[in-house]
Chain A
């Protein structure tokens, strides 16, 4: 059994509100009982540019720093993230994304991941596409080391289903997952189910216990091949 750990988190949300659902700047901090801190800072500097900075420390030493930003144009987005930059040794990782909308339904993008270590450098290019309609959405990613494809459909107002395939050429393995979600507000119930090609089934039941403001969450996962069961129970106040 794993040792228990506690986490203390705090969130600060600023007063600048470009839309009713977002507010900037946002600062999120999370501290674990072993003294590891994770801090995030997100700010919308202008209407086009959003800056993001994430830092992680282990004890008193800085473990990793990520600085990034998003630039939004009329129908395209460029985002970049620079992880662990070390100018003295010339090492670090740079991730560059470019997403372009071609028609209102179709969007294509590409990603460049450039990593430079002590003696080696490596670049990986990935292309991605997404086709979206009112009821369904399909997306795919093609990289040098694997592919990832997904399909999502909203069957009716209560039921949503999705299928996902992830295949990796390096590890020579592929996993297919089928999942569905049933939203029944008149019964205060949300049920999610999942089935994978590695003979794993799982489900989660969330029920709001009226009139108390408590949501009860029951989950169960079963690996049929290895005969392993995991169950969980949780409660959310508010």
Chain B
């Protein structure tokens, strides 16, 4: 025999053992080609779609927030401040003149005689 058993086994040792993932990958060869390509296409498509959706949501949130803050927030601030001031004024009037003064306008103002009673 040209080669001894130990030499043949030595030749086989030069070939590395398959890694675990290579063995798993080899198992996929039992599926038909169409199913394999369909699965790979769908995973690629969904991962690309998810990353695009994520970056779109990020940039649209940024655009929306800055536009809202620059274009709309100052007016809302001022309106809230105005309403608060009005409320405070009403509250002060209520404390000073009694609960009726805040709710209804007094006829003629303070200092004049009260309106005659209606019959």
Max count, chain A CB within 10 A of own CB: residue among B62, B71, B82: B71
Instruction: Compute how far the CA of A207 lies from the CA of B62 in the bound complex, rounded to whole angstroms.
Output: 28
| A53 at interface, CB cutoff 8 A | no
Name the residue on B nearest A218 (C-beta): B74
User: How far in angstroms is the closest Cβ of chain B from A207?
Assistant: 7
**Does A114 have its Cβ within 8 Å of any Cβ on chain B?**
no
8 Å CB interface, B39-76 against A = 62-63, 66-67, 70-72, 74-75
Docked-complex contact B70 and A205, CB < 8 angstroms: no
Which stretch from A93-101, A127-135, A166-174, A183-191 is at the chain B interface? A183-191
- What is the interface size of chain B, counting residues whose CB is below 8 A from a CB of the partner? 12
Contact partner, B78, options A184, A193, A202, Cβ 8 Å: A184
Q: Are B71 and A195 in contact (CB under 8 A)?
A: yes
For the complex, what is the distance from the CA of A205 to the CA of B71, rounded to whole Å?
10
B66–A224 contact, CB under 8 A?
yes
Q: How far is the CA of A193 from the CA of B78 in the complex (A)?
A: 15
A193 to B75, CA, bound (A): 11
Contact of A201 among B71, B75, B82 (CB under 8 A): B71
Inter-chain contacts of B66 with A (CB < 8 A): 201, 222, 224
Measured between beta carbons, the chain B residues less than 8 angstroms from A207 are 78
Chain A residues with CB under 8 A of B62: 224
